[in-house]
Structure 1
């Protein structure tokens, strides 16, 4: 069985991915499957550190949700309290208030940690 070790470099990472490919079809309950699981944990940890993913922009998240669910901008206006408030948000003129974050989270189930991110404001 291969020697599994921490992943510190891109070369270690590539080797771990290759070994995972070799172990991919290992049957559950076998030593090979245990090694595959350990490698998965190590690769995941390395990827989180090496290739961090920033939280999505709140405007982009809301627009994506609306597009995926067929929601018109007028509905966003109703949720946020007014069409002008929704327009300010969508056009990056203003961020969301805590009350609006709570409403969007409760009604549309958009994670609050995304909605609370600062909006890159224009003008």
Structure 2
């Protein structure tokens, strides 16, 4: 298979240890992204295996060098309320009353385990986000 002047048999899978390696991996991923369209089953499998291996290595490098910060639990709640068009009154049962909603959203009161359980179950916010586990 020749893709963007890359011969499938010449591709060597190696650890991604630098930005240069990461960029090279990105080019390979881009070149192999349509590998599932290959007609020869052997070439297709070889290309897809290489694509998967390089993608796993690139994702690992990206996670280590460009971590995505975890969202603030209160900001996550506010964002989810906005997405679902919910008012403070709508979510009051999950907090134990409207006063608690205001206190928590203004960061004057911490989330309790019961609140976290209710918010996770009813608003679909992952518990780890609400617990601010990093």
Tell me whether the two structures share a fold, i.e. TM-score over 0.5. yes
Q: CA deviation at 1:70?
A: 1.1
Deviations 1:19-40 (A, max 9, x none): 1111111137421121111111
1:41 equivalenced with 2:56 (yes/no):
yes
Q: Are positions 1:7 and 2:4 aligned together?
A: no
1:83-110 CA distance string (max 9 Å, x none): 1111011111122011111111122221
Are positions 1:23 and 2:23 aligned together?
no
Q: 1:46: Cα distance to partner?
A: 0.6
User: What TM-score, normalized to structure 2?
Assistant: 0.81
SS in 2 for 1:30: helix
Give 1:4 shift: 1.2
Deviation per CA, 1:50-84, whole angstroms, max 9, x where unpaired?
11112211111111111111111112223211111
CA distance in 1, matches of 2:33, 2:57: 15
1:110 partnered with 2:110: no
Give the 5 Å matches for 1:50-61: 50-61=65-76
Pick the structure with greater CA Rg. Answer: 2
Provide the TM-score with structure 1 as the length reference.
Answer: 0.88
**Count of aligned residue pairs for this structure pair:** 118
